[in-house]
Structure 1
């Protein structure tokens, strides 16, 4: 599998780019957010992280190899997770990614289905499916996320409290901060049942 391509950017249109590597020009499919980023670099050397797939069906006997390009490997990893959602294929996923991936990851982590339905080809049911399958798995891609190594390692009861708060509609990053603060002030709170009420008291501005 070709995982990276470097060469001269010859052309960018609404769905693909043409990248020349030596005497060969490769057609690379792009998610929507990449189009704007690359359209000002025509004639320049570019480097894209890539993945390949075959378009068509085995039964039809006409499989066409396709290459997809991303600005970095993290975006490629996100796309792999995003297209793992039931009903979200490769082409639909490319069309849906019309805005930066960090903003989409934020919406998923925050359960913002209204924002997700604004993406091309994503209806209400698909937005619900995306949140149901991916929420809690995209923190490293979210724009407000800290690097993974900087995040605290939660103990099991803290993780349980976090999932309860997120399920009740709290934003994950804010809930994590409140859990840390509550545990600092109440080191004797060692169960999710004890921790969740303390978090809500902190959020309401009640000194605990």
Structure 2
């Protein structure tokens, strides 16, 4: 099985790229984001590959990062999501945006992907809500956990109040949640909303 290709860009199509590896051209299907960020023809490239083997074909899917490939695999665990839909989601949302959408249960963001209707988007955020933090570590995982609590309406009152206060100051909900997660790590889960707001603003000013 092919797990990674390292070579030069030989050709770029609407939905694929051909990578020249020592004279052999490998065709890999890619999402829109990956294709948009490809180097020019003739330049070096590294793609992480997911290989699909069927009775009548072998198909390669290419990703700029291992995280994107991981999301591609995970998305297909959701009912109604195949390779085409998973690639469309990854092609529309970055790994961070997708993790945030799932943590915040934001099905509207996921539904921005071509071919993803409201029902499929709802299944994606619902079925993957407990798996999104596994794609992060340390502070990032804590932040995703906090965002998930906010999305489900079960975050402690001081945390929810602090996030609300920061959004009222003009910060996005995502920025506010990230700043408050940093504040909670510094001050502890028992900190008051006043303390969390102050530390959150400090984090946002860095």
Quick check: TM above 0.5? yes
Q: Shift of residue 133 of structure 1?
A: 0.8
Q: Deviations over 1:164-189 (max 9, x none)?
A: 5542276775674576546344xxxx
Correspondence 1:32-71 to 2 at 5 A = 32-38=32-38, 40-55=39-54, 62-71=55-64
Cα 1:46/1:152, change in 2 over 3 Å: closer
What SS class does the counterpart of residue 95 from structure 1 fall into?
helix
Q: Shift of residue 30 of structure 1?
A: 0.7
Q: Shift of residue 23 of structure 1?
A: 2.4
Q: Tell me if the contact between 2:68 and 2:90 (Cα under 8 Å) persists in the aligned partners.
A: no
The structure in which a higher percent of residues are helix is 2
* TM-score, scaled to structure 2: 0.70
The gaps in structure 2 that reach 5 residues or longer are 156-173, 199-206
Of residues 85, 93, 110 in structure 2, which corresponds to 1:92?
85
Matched residues in 2 for 1:162 and 1:72: separation?
Answer: 24
Greater shift, 116-125 or 96-105, is seen at 96-105
Q: Shift of residue 137 of structure 1?
A: 2.0
The gaps in structure 1 that reach 5 residues or longer are 56-61, 142-146, 154-158, 186-197
| Mapped pair 1:134 → 2:119 | no
Greater shift, 72-81 or 162-171, is seen at 162-171
* TM-score, scaled to structure 1: 0.69
Q: Deviations over 1:21-76 (max 9, x none)?
A: 112111111122111011x4211111111110124xxxxxx420111111121211
Bigger radius of gyration among the two? 1
Counterpart in the other structure of 1:107: 101
Q: Tell me if the contact between 2:133 and 2:141 (Cα under 8 Å) persists in the aligned partners.
A: no
Cα 1:8/1:178, change in 2 over 3 Å: closer
Instruction: Count residues with an aligned counterpart.
Output: 174
Q: Deviations over 1:73-115 (max 9, x none)?
A: 1211121112211110012211232232322222121111111
Counterpart in the other structure of 1:18: 18
Matched residues in 1 for 2:17 and 2:195: separation?
Answer: 51
Correspondence 1:111-126 to 2 at 5 A = 111-126=105-120
Q: Tell me if the contact between 2:100 and 2:147 (Cα under 8 Å) persists in the aligned partners.
A: no
Matched residues in 1 for 2:147 and 2:85: separation?
Answer: 32
Matched residues in 1 for 2:141 and 2:10: separation?
Answer: 45
